[in-house]
A = this chain, B = another copy of it.
Amino acid sequence: MCACRFTFTVFWDPCYRFQPPGGDIVPCALLIPGSCDSVLPNTTTTMKAIIQRVTKASVTVGEEQISSIGRGLCVLLGISVEDTQRDAEYMVRKILNLRLFEDEHGRAWSKSVMERDFEVLCVSQFTLQCILKGNKPDFHSAMPAELAQPFYDSMLENMRSTHKPELIKDGKFGARMQVHIQNDGPVTIELTSPTGPTDPKQLSKQEKQQQRKEKTRSKGPSESGREKGAQRSRQDPNASSGAEGDVSSEREP
Protein backbone atom coordinates (compact mmCIF):
# COMPACT_ATOMS: atom_id res chain seq x y z
CA MET A 1 0.00 0.00 0.00
CA CYS A 2 1.03 3.60 -0.47
CA ALA A 3 2.73 5.35 2.37
CA CYS A 4 3.19 8.69 0.62
CA ARG A 5 0.67 11.50 1.24
CA PHE A 6 -0.92 13.58 -1.52
CA THR A 7 -0.97 10.70 -3.95
CA PHE A 8 -3.69 8.26 -4.80
CA THR A 9 -3.68 4.99 -6.59
CA VAL A 10 -5.96 4.38 -9.52
CA PHE A 11 -6.77 1.95 -12.24
CA TRP A 12 -6.97 3.51 -15.63
CA ASP A 13 -9.52 2.82 -18.30
CA PRO A 14 -9.49 4.22 -21.81
CA CYS A 15 -12.68 6.21 -21.26
CA TYR A 16 -10.83 8.62 -18.96
CA ARG A 17 -12.62 7.57 -15.83
CA PHE A 18 -11.08 6.72 -12.55
CA GLN A 19 -11.72 3.38 -10.99
CA PRO A 20 -10.70 3.45 -7.36
CA PRO A 21 -9.68 0.02 -6.13
CA GLY A 22 -12.79 -1.75 -4.94
CA GLY A 23 -15.06 1.13 -5.85
CA ASP A 24 -17.27 2.38 -8.66
CA ILE A 25 -15.92 4.15 -11.70
CA VAL A 26 -16.00 7.87 -11.02
CA PRO A 27 -15.79 10.54 -13.73
CA CYS A 28 -12.71 12.71 -13.33
CA ALA A 29 -14.68 15.93 -12.86
CA LEU A 30 -16.20 14.72 -9.62
CA LEU A 31 -12.72 14.47 -8.16
CA ILE A 32 -12.01 18.14 -8.69
CA PRO A 33 -13.66 20.63 -6.36
CA GLY A 34 -15.44 23.38 -8.29
CA SER A 35 -15.28 21.57 -11.59
CA CYS A 36 -18.11 22.42 -13.97
CA ASP A 37 -19.88 21.26 -17.11
CA SER A 38 -17.39 21.82 -19.84
CA VAL A 39 -14.44 20.71 -17.76
CA LEU A 40 -15.76 17.19 -18.06
CA PRO A 41 -13.37 15.23 -20.23
CA ASN A 42 -14.44 14.98 -23.82
CA THR A 43 -14.19 11.33 -24.67
CA THR A 44 -15.73 10.04 -27.86
CA THR A 45 -18.40 8.35 -25.79
CA THR A 46 -20.29 11.43 -24.67
CA MET A 47 -23.17 12.95 -26.55
CA LYS A 48 -22.03 16.04 -28.43
CA ALA A 49 -23.98 19.00 -29.72
CA ILE A 50 -22.75 21.87 -31.86
CA ILE A 51 -25.09 24.74 -31.12
CA GLN A 52 -25.08 27.65 -33.55
CA ARG A 53 -27.06 30.83 -32.87
CA VAL A 54 -28.86 31.63 -36.10
CA THR A 55 -30.74 34.42 -37.80
CA LYS A 56 -32.38 31.70 -39.85
CA ALA A 57 -31.77 28.09 -40.84
CA SER A 58 -33.35 25.45 -43.04
CA VAL A 59 -32.96 21.93 -44.35
CA THR A 60 -33.35 20.76 -47.93
CA VAL A 61 -33.42 17.18 -49.17
CA GLY A 62 -32.90 17.09 -52.92
CA GLU A 63 -34.74 20.15 -54.18
CA GLU A 64 -37.31 20.19 -51.42
CA GLN A 65 -37.09 22.40 -48.34
CA ILE A 66 -38.37 20.20 -45.53
CA SER A 67 -37.84 22.47 -42.56
CA SER A 68 -37.01 26.06 -41.65
CA ILE A 69 -36.72 28.38 -38.67
CA GLY A 70 -36.18 32.09 -38.05
CA ARG A 71 -34.10 33.36 -35.10
CA GLY A 72 -33.00 30.66 -32.72
CA LEU A 73 -30.57 27.77 -32.54
CA CYS A 74 -29.39 25.23 -35.08
CA VAL A 75 -28.31 22.13 -33.17
CA LEU A 76 -26.20 19.37 -34.75
CA LEU A 77 -26.48 16.37 -32.43
CA GLY A 78 -24.07 13.43 -32.25
CA ILE A 79 -25.29 10.48 -30.13
CA SER A 80 -22.72 7.96 -28.89
CA VAL A 81 -23.05 4.23 -28.21
CA GLU A 82 -22.90 4.83 -24.47
CA ASP A 83 -25.50 7.56 -24.15
CA THR A 84 -28.38 7.11 -21.77
CA GLN A 85 -31.66 8.82 -20.97
CA ARG A 86 -29.83 10.89 -18.40
CA ASP A 87 -27.46 12.27 -21.06
CA ALA A 88 -30.44 13.07 -23.27
CA GLU A 89 -32.23 14.95 -20.50
CA TYR A 90 -29.11 16.91 -19.62
CA MET A 91 -28.54 17.96 -23.23
CA VAL A 92 -32.15 19.01 -23.82
CA ARG A 93 -32.16 21.05 -20.61
CA LYS A 94 -28.90 22.78 -21.51
CA ILE A 95 -29.82 23.49 -25.14
CA LEU A 96 -33.09 25.13 -24.11
CA ASN A 97 -31.65 27.07 -21.17
CA LEU A 98 -28.25 28.23 -22.42
CA ARG A 99 -28.11 32.01 -22.34
CA LEU A 100 -26.97 32.82 -25.85
CA PHE A 101 -29.26 35.75 -26.65
CA GLU A 102 -29.39 39.37 -25.58
CA ASP A 103 -32.20 40.69 -23.37
CA GLU A 104 -34.58 43.55 -24.19
CA HIS A 105 -31.87 46.08 -23.23
CA GLY A 106 -29.36 44.54 -25.65
CA ARG A 107 -27.33 42.91 -22.86
CA ALA A 108 -25.59 39.90 -24.41
CA TRP A 109 -25.59 36.36 -22.95
CA SER A 110 -28.74 37.07 -20.94
CA LYS A 111 -31.61 35.04 -22.35
CA SER A 112 -32.20 31.50 -23.50
CA VAL A 113 -33.97 30.34 -26.65
CA MET A 114 -36.98 29.50 -24.46
CA GLU A 115 -37.05 32.87 -22.73
CA ARG A 116 -36.96 34.66 -26.10
CA ASP A 117 -39.54 32.30 -27.62
CA PHE A 118 -37.17 31.54 -30.49
CA GLU A 119 -37.02 28.37 -32.58
CA VAL A 120 -34.74 25.32 -32.59
CA LEU A 121 -33.73 23.34 -35.66
CA CYS A 122 -32.28 20.03 -34.55
CA VAL A 123 -30.40 17.74 -36.96
CA SER A 124 -28.88 14.36 -36.15
CA GLN A 125 -25.15 14.32 -36.95
CA PHE A 126 -23.27 11.11 -36.26
CA THR A 127 -20.00 12.51 -37.67
CA LEU A 128 -19.55 14.36 -34.37
CA GLN A 129 -18.74 10.94 -32.89
CA CYS A 130 -15.48 10.88 -34.75
CA ILE A 131 -12.18 9.30 -33.81
CA LEU A 132 -9.34 10.22 -36.13
CA LYS A 133 -7.09 7.45 -37.32
CA GLY A 134 -4.40 9.55 -38.84
CA ASN A 135 -6.45 11.70 -41.18
CA LYS A 136 -9.29 9.26 -41.65
CA PRO A 137 -12.44 9.65 -39.57
CA ASP A 138 -13.84 6.57 -37.84
CA PHE A 139 -17.40 6.52 -36.52
CA HIS A 140 -17.53 3.34 -34.47
CA SER A 141 -18.47 5.25 -31.34
CA ALA A 142 -21.67 6.63 -32.89
CA MET A 143 -24.85 4.89 -31.80
CA PRO A 144 -26.09 2.57 -34.59
CA ALA A 145 -28.95 4.06 -36.61
CA GLU A 146 -31.63 1.56 -35.49
CA LEU A 147 -31.03 2.56 -31.86
CA ALA A 148 -30.17 6.20 -32.49
CA GLN A 149 -33.39 7.06 -34.32
CA PRO A 150 -35.85 6.30 -31.48
CA PHE A 151 -33.38 7.83 -29.00
CA TYR A 152 -33.14 11.00 -31.09
CA ASP A 153 -36.92 11.13 -31.57
CA SER A 154 -37.47 10.93 -27.82
CA MET A 155 -35.07 13.88 -27.36
CA LEU A 156 -37.10 15.90 -29.85
CA GLU A 157 -40.28 15.01 -27.98
CA ASN A 158 -38.69 16.12 -24.74
CA MET A 159 -37.70 19.44 -26.37
CA ARG A 160 -41.21 19.93 -27.71
CA SER A 161 -42.88 19.29 -24.37
CA THR A 162 -40.37 21.50 -22.49
CA HIS A 163 -40.45 24.43 -24.96
CA LYS A 164 -43.33 24.73 -27.46
CA PRO A 165 -44.03 21.96 -29.98
CA GLU A 166 -44.39 24.36 -32.91
CA LEU A 167 -40.99 25.96 -32.21
CA ILE A 168 -38.95 22.73 -32.47
CA LYS A 169 -38.07 21.70 -36.03
CA ASP A 170 -36.23 18.68 -37.37
CA GLY A 171 -34.20 17.41 -40.31
CA LYS A 172 -34.81 14.02 -41.91
CA PHE A 173 -33.01 11.29 -40.00
CA GLY A 174 -30.56 9.34 -42.15
CA ALA A 175 -31.13 11.35 -45.34
CA ARG A 176 -28.51 13.31 -47.21
CA MET A 177 -29.37 16.91 -46.47
CA GLN A 178 -28.19 20.40 -47.13
CA VAL A 179 -28.38 22.31 -43.85
CA HIS A 180 -28.46 26.06 -44.49
CA ILE A 181 -27.21 27.88 -41.43
CA GLN A 182 -26.99 31.65 -41.06
CA ASN A 183 -24.78 31.77 -38.00
CA ASP A 184 -25.44 35.05 -36.20
CA GLY A 185 -22.34 36.62 -34.63
CA PRO A 186 -21.03 33.97 -35.24
CA VAL A 187 -21.88 32.26 -31.93
CA THR A 188 -21.06 28.57 -31.71
CA ILE A 189 -21.00 26.47 -28.54
CA GLU A 190 -19.86 22.90 -28.20
CA LEU A 191 -21.80 20.98 -25.58
CA THR A 192 -20.98 17.51 -24.26
CA SER A 193 -22.98 15.40 -21.87
CA PRO A 194 -21.52 14.35 -18.54
CA THR A 195 -20.08 10.86 -18.83
CA GLY A 196 -20.15 7.81 -16.68
CA PRO A 197 -22.44 6.23 -14.12
CA THR A 198 -22.50 9.19 -11.75
CA ASP A 199 -25.04 9.77 -9.06
CA PRO A 200 -27.78 11.91 -10.68
CA LYS A 201 -28.63 13.43 -7.29
CA GLN A 202 -25.08 14.61 -6.85
CA LEU A 203 -24.93 16.09 -10.34
CA SER A 204 -28.26 17.83 -9.90
CA LYS A 205 -27.12 19.18 -6.52
CA GLN A 206 -23.94 20.60 -8.07
CA GLU A 207 -26.00 22.29 -10.78
CA LYS A 208 -28.45 23.79 -8.30
CA GLN A 209 -25.60 25.16 -6.20
CA GLN A 210 -24.14 26.83 -9.25
CA GLN A 211 -27.48 28.30 -10.25
CA ARG A 212 -27.99 29.68 -6.75
CA LYS A 213 -24.56 31.32 -6.87
CA GLU A 214 -25.41 32.79 -10.23
CA LYS A 215 -28.74 34.21 -9.01
CA THR A 216 -27.08 35.78 -5.99
CA ARG A 217 -24.56 37.45 -8.26
CA SER A 218 -27.09 38.68 -10.80
CA LYS A 219 -29.35 40.12 -8.06
CA GLY A 220 -26.62 42.31 -6.64
CA PRO A 221 -24.07 43.37 -9.24
CA SER A 222 -21.48 45.89 -8.17
CA GLU A 223 -21.59 49.44 -9.51
CA SER A 224 -18.36 48.84 -11.39
CA GLY A 225 -19.89 45.75 -12.95
CA ARG A 226 -22.82 47.79 -14.19
CA GLU A 227 -20.52 50.42 -15.60
CA LYS A 228 -18.52 47.81 -17.45
CA GLY A 229 -21.71 46.38 -18.92
CA ALA A 230 -22.75 49.80 -20.13
CA GLN A 231 -19.36 50.45 -21.70
CA ARG A 232 -19.49 47.22 -23.60
CA SER A 233 -22.97 47.76 -24.93
CA ARG A 234 -21.82 51.01 -26.49
CA GLN A 235 -19.32 48.96 -28.48
CA ASP A 236 -20.59 46.00 -30.43
CA PRO A 237 -22.16 43.83 -27.76
CA ASN A 238 -22.48 40.83 -29.97
CA ALA A 239 -19.26 40.62 -31.94
CA SER A 240 -17.87 37.22 -31.18
CA SER A 241 -15.42 36.41 -33.91
CA GLY A 242 -12.39 37.83 -32.19
CA ALA A 243 -11.19 36.26 -29.00
CA GLU A 244 -12.97 38.67 -26.72
CA GLY A 245 -12.94 36.49 -23.67
CA ASP A 246 -11.47 39.45 -21.90
CA VAL A 247 -14.62 41.56 -22.26
CA SER A 248 -15.35 42.30 -18.64
CA SER A 249 -19.11 41.95 -18.55
CA GLU A 250 -18.87 38.46 -20.00
CA ARG A 251 -17.17 37.48 -16.78
CA GLU A 252 -18.54 36.80 -13.41
CA PRO A 253 -16.78 38.71 -10.63
Complex contacts, A37 vs chain B, CB 8 Å? 131-132
Chain A interface category by residue count: 35 or more
Give the number of times this chain occurs in the complex, counting copies: 2
Given known pairs A134-B210, A207-B134, A210-B134, the reply for A185 and B189 (CB within 8 Å) is no
Complex contacts, A64 vs chain B, CB 8 Å? none
Q: Which of A160-168, A170-178, A196-204, A220-228 contacts B (4 or more CB under 8 A)?
A: A170-178
Which DSSP category, helix, strand, loop or mixed, fits chain A's interface? mixed
Complex A-B: 20 CB contacts under 8 Å:
A1-B4, A14-B35, A16-B28, A38-B131, A76-B183, A76-B188, A94-B135, A126-B241, A129-B243, A133-B252, A134-B214, A137-B250, A139-B245, A139-B251, A152-B243, A175-B236, A175-B239, A176-B238, A178-B182, A179-B181
Binding site for B on A (CB under 8 A): 1-4, 6-12, 14, 16, 21, 28, 31-32, 35-39, 41-44, 48, 50, 55, 76, 78-79, 81, 94, 97-100, 109, 112, 123-145, 147-149, 152, 171-190, 192, 207, 210-211, 213-214, 236, 238-247, 250-252
